[in-house]
Amino acid sequence: MFHKEGFKIIINTFLIAVVIALGSAYFIENFWIQKSLQVVSIILLILVLQFFRNPKRKTTANKNHIIAPVDGKVVVIEEVYEKEFFKDKRLQVSIFMSPLNVHVTRYAISGAVAFSKYHPGKYLVAWHPKSSELNERTTVVLENDTVGQILYRQIAGAVARRIVNYAKVGDKVVQGRDAGFIKFGSRVDVFLPLGTKINVKIDQKVRGGEDCIAEF
């Protein structure tokens, strides 16, 4: 199963792969060059397919749990000052996605969208300390009666060139459902109230829509 954000790219890549494979067979006589080009076209198609895969995830809804919004590795767990929306101290949990990870963004809690804003910016590597403030990004705040408000931020990396965000202010959202997509490498920061119990550790790998990263 593939994400809808990848349909156009998948089709275009497939057509390019077919043209390269057929063109090399008809116009290139050297066997090794011909086969090399065909192999490269197949590898390119496979990479694009795996990047836009959208595996089904079974979310066990729990109003006290914050689930991982994306697949990847936990790279930051620290108390920080969140200056865009809360303007106070929060617990930040950051998840880095390599190009090999699933890049679907999922809602960490059920509730309502209280804030959603896109910021143009730079394309520093996603693990850079300033990427959360300087890179292209979207900021979304979700709220419900159990956890109050939490903020997550989709951040483009050095390779990522497009962030897709479906969250609109006033939307009612469901934990684990599709919230967007980040194309070709990225990171997501989650900002939680102080005192939240964190259930993950640095370098731990998590699965979006399934793993509980924090709880109340």
pLDDT tens digits, residue range 137-189?
899 999 999 999 999 999 886 555 578 999 999 999 999 999 999 876 688 99
Report the range of poorest mean pLDDT among 3-7, 55-59, 93-97, 129-133: 129-133
Strand partners, 139: 117, 153
- What is the arithmetic mean of pLDDT over 61-89? 96
Q: Higher pLDDT residue, 190 or 120?
A: 190
- State the pLDDT confidence band at 50, using cuts at 50, 70 and 90: confident
Residue 99 reports pLDDT greater than 60: yes
Tell me, what's the pLDDT at 159?
56
Instruction: Write down the pTM of the prediction.
Output: 0.84
Number of Cβ within a 10 Å radius of residue 46:
12
Alpha helices in 28-150 (DSSP H): 31-51, 131-134
- What is the arithmetic mean of pLDDT over 104-110? 97
**With the C-alpha atoms ordered 43, 103, 202, 189, is the resulting torsion angle positive or negative?**
positive
Mean pLDDT of the chain: 89
Known catalytic residues are 186
